[in-house]
Amino acid sequence: MPTVRAFWLQQTPSLPRLGGWPAWLVLGLATASLLVFALGFQGDGWQWPDLADPLVRSLRLPRILSALLVGAALAAAGAALQALFRNPMADPTLIGTSSGAALAVVCIMAFGWRALPLPLAAFGGSLLATWLLLALVRLVGGGSTGLLLMGLMLGSFGAAMTGMLLFLSDDLALRSAMTWLSGQLGSTTGAPLAWAAPVGIAGIALLLGLGRDLDCLLLGDEAAQGLGVHVERARLLTAVGAAMAIGAAVSVAGIIGFVGMMVPNACALLAGGGRRRLIALSATGGAAFLLLMDTLARGIAYPVNVPVGLLAGFVGPMFFVWLFRRKMGDSA
Amino acid sequence: MSTPTLQMQSVSFQHRGRSLLNRISGHLPTASLTSIIGPNGAGKSTLLRLLGGLLSASEGQILLDGAPILQLARLQRAQAIGWLGQFSAEDLPLSLAEYVMLGRRPYLGHFGQPSLEDQARVGAAMAAFDLSGLASRPWRRLSGGERQRAGLARLIAQDAPIWLLDEPTNHLDLKYQALLFGRLRAEAARGRTVVTVLHDLALAAQWSQEVLLLQGGRLLAQGPAKAVLQAERLSQAYGWPLEVWHDARGRWQMQAAEAA
């Protein structure tokens, strides 16, 4: 019996690879026009943005900047984690690092340790989760599937703890944390951008610096060592950089899944190239993607503000299935 | 080319309570092609990793030009010793040329941009294994043999005076095996020290100048291929009767007996 396959599950024809500057030009132009559109867009219409307008300046602009930061940080972290774990399906949400960050943030809120800035707490939680996962993967093994499963378990555990904390507390502030957790931009629960941006940008910068080492790590630990890479240090620094980026993103916008997996894979497929270039492309592409999603989220059920995380949750799983099938097809 | 010397000083290696290598000492001849042979589990790959400084010995040490190899700075070591292991990455977003360029990592560091010289070396390395036409092909569309050749090209691009190769003939058909060993011999003649782990005794006999025979973590014999590859000694090492003879053209032939 012939197998029937959905059209989007079929192998993609090999796409032409975009060269150096055209890729950047296309991305840059797309982001810029999207930015202008988002600035002037309101659910019921569009007008040329007037920066003097307080609505534009103090509501839309911060929200747009948050979208750019969160998208860039998640995609850059995803690109780095995929090299670190040698698995194209590694994503901050799928492997539990986002949950670690969210748990830390909810802890801060629940126990009222407001003295500790949220992005730093989120960084700590995410770093802890990444380390735990690295240790678990070493201890248990199981290869590519083992990593995904253990990350999933770690994420579920973190989510369960978070849910328990939220459930047990009757504080109103924590109730609003629920909306924040589902991945929303422009809420007031999350960390202020001024705190999160430096942490996130520093994390992305650290990951960019590690680009060439990550390329070597993809060849296997021994080959990387043979090329002069300090493997343990490169791993540790990658975990730290990714945790900074993820911590910043989660503290601003809660858990937004799949951006960290979709964007780097799309970039690798379309443009390829070394990890540093891929991280930079992913950061730009992730910023543009999340801004697009958030602009859609603002308009789709206007005047209701749909969490952008929910919207990304629609697109992400389909992409994941496609990618998983592609990978399985390659190794078969 | 002034080749640094590699020396093993009563090297032992234990892993999880099991002794994998037991007090191995010796000198690897410079500017020649050396093969490490022995039955499965003899410790061949472990010894090669120790020689490359990828593992640290439980006892004893490896000396590179008289200095303990693990005390060298990582980049310095990577400039002295090129490593080609058996692991081949599955999913790289790189093109073949970008992959081979990683061989220049010991010289470029974190941020260095490849110079014209680096690019010329990468081009020559790809040409050495018939890969020039595939330079821009994505890694995921290369066959197993092409990936293995790409690894060899990366090793050439790294241009270290010592080469360590673990089963370099994996996935290679006869033409590229001949091309590979021809190249290794030529590099040895030019002053490079080449050490390979091989399980194919006939290849080891045909091409190598020096042979290390390992069994159960011990060095049974070291010396010129002719002296080491004796039927009696090999039979003892492999625990199975082996026949060794020369064919009409003077080539080494080896075969396992059909029954012990």
More confident residue, A15 or A310: A310
Nearest CA in chain B to A327: B91
Q: Is residue A14 over pLDDT 60?
A: no
CB-CB under 8 Å, B102 with A216: yes
Q: Is residue B96 over pLDDT 70?
A: yes
A276-315 pLDDT, tens digit per residue, is 999 999 999 999 999 988 888 888 877 777 888 888 888 8
Residues of chain B contacting A145 with CB distance shorter than 8 Å? none
Q: What is the pLDDT of residue A276?
A: 93
Among the ranges A34-48, B194-208, B233-247, which has the highest mean pLDDT value? B194-208
Q: Lowest-pLDDT range, A41-45, A56-60, B178-182?
A: A41-45
Q: What is the pLDDT of residue A11?
A: 36
What is the three-state SS of A29-93?
Answer: HHHHHHHHHHHHEECCEECCCCCCCHHHHHHHHHHHHHHHHHHHHHHHHHHHHHHHCCCCCCCCC
Q: What is the pLDDT of residue B252?
A: 81
Q: Is residue B101 over pLDDT 90?
A: yes
**Does the interface predicted TM-score (ipTM) exceed 0.85?**
yes
Task: Provide the b/e sequence for B178-206 (b: ≥16 CB within 10 Å).
Answer: ebbbebbbebbeeebbbbbbbbebebbbe
A132-158 pLDDT, tens digit per residue, is 888 888 787 666 677 778 888 899 999
More confident residue, A80 or A266: A80
B150-183 pLDDT, tens digit per residue, is 999 999 999 999 999 999 998 889 999 999 999 9
Cα three-residue angle B192-B193-B196, rounded to 5 degrees: 125
Q: What is the pLDDT of residue A331?
A: 47
**Residue B92 forms contact with A (CB below 8 Å):** yes
Q: Lowest-pLDDT range, A108-112, B57-61, B143-147?
A: A108-112
**Residue B93 forms contact with A (CB below 8 Å):** yes
Whether the Cβ atoms of residue A99 and residue A255 lie closer than 8 Å to each other: yes
Nearest CA in chain B to A216: B102
Q: Mean per-residue pLDDT for B135-146? A: 89
**Residue B104 forms contact with A (CB below 8 Å):** no
Q: Is residue A214 over pLDDT 60?
A: yes
- Least CB–CB distance from A222: residue in B54, B93, B158: B54
Rounded to 10 degrees, what is the CA torsion of B179, B183, B184, B186? 140
Q: pLDDT averaged over chain A? A: 82
Q: Is residue A1 over pLDDT 70?
A: no
User: Could you count the other beta carbons within 10 Å of the beta carbon of residue A307?
Assistant: 23
Q: How confident is the model at residue A329 (pLDDT cuts 50, 70, 90)?
A: low
More confident residue, A114 or A10: A114
Q: Mean per-residue pLDDT for B83-96? A: 86
- Least CB–CB distance from A228: residue in B105, B111, B138: B105
